[in-house]
Amino acid sequence: MRRIEGEQILVRIYLGESKRVHHQPLHRQLLELLRAEGLAGATVLKGWAGYGQDGVLHTATIESLAADLPIVIETVDTLQHVEELLGKIDAMMTGGLVMTERARVVRYRPGA
C-alpha cells in the first residue's frame, strides 16, 4: 500500500454526466484512468444541481430527470504523480473544469 501523508495535491474535475468519450461516460473513463495510473484513490460525486460556463441550470427535479447533472471527481496524490497525469486528463476532457490545490493529508490508512 502506498503511503500518502502530509502536503499533497488535490485534483478536482467538474463535468456534466452526459459527457462521453468513445461512447462511454467520461466520468467512468476518467475514473479508470486514475486507477490505471495508480493514484491513491478517487471519488465520483453526483450533484443535485449546478451550472457551467454556458449558464444553463441543470437540476434533478422530476420534470427534468434527463438533465445533464454535475459530476465532480476528486483524487489526492503527490505533486509529481498529479503533474504526470494532468496532460492525460486534459486530452480526455471535452469541456468542464480541472482544478488543483494543495491539501494536507491527515490520515490515509485502510480500515481494520
Is residue 66 domain-resident? yes
User: Looking at residue 73, what is its pLDDT?
Assistant: 98
Q: How many of the other CB atoms lie within 10 Å of CB of 67?
A: 18
CA separation for the pair 98, 90 (Å, rounded):
8
User: Looking at residue 5, what is its pLDDT?
Assistant: 83
User: Looking at residue 81, what is its pLDDT?
Assistant: 93
Residue 39: all three cell numbers together: 493514484
What is the count of structural domains for the chain?
A: 1
Cβ-based neighbours of 18, under 8 Å, separated by 6 or more: 68
Q: What angle do CA 8, 12, 15 make, to 5 degrees?
A: 165
Is residue 32 domain-resident? yes
Q: What is the mean pLDDT of each run of 10 residues along the chain (112 residues)?
A: 83 92 93 93 88 77 67 95 95 92 85 56
CATH number for the domain including 30?
3.30.70.120
Task: State the residue range of the domain holding 76.
Answer: 6-105
User: Looking at residue 63, what is its pLDDT?
Assistant: 59
Is residue 111 domain-resident? no
Is residue 110 domain-resident? no
User: Looking at residue 66, what is its pLDDT?
Assistant: 54
User: Looking at residue 51, what is its pLDDT?
Assistant: 77
Is residue 112 domain-resident? no
CA 69 distance to own-chain centroid: 14
CA 81 distance to own-chain centroid: 15
User: Looking at residue 57, what is its pLDDT?
Assistant: 78
Q: Integer distance in angstroms from the first to the last C-alpha of the chain?
A: 14
Is residue 24 domain-resident? yes
User: Looking at residue 112, what is its pLDDT?
Assistant: 53
User: Looking at residue 95, what is its pLDDT?
Assistant: 85
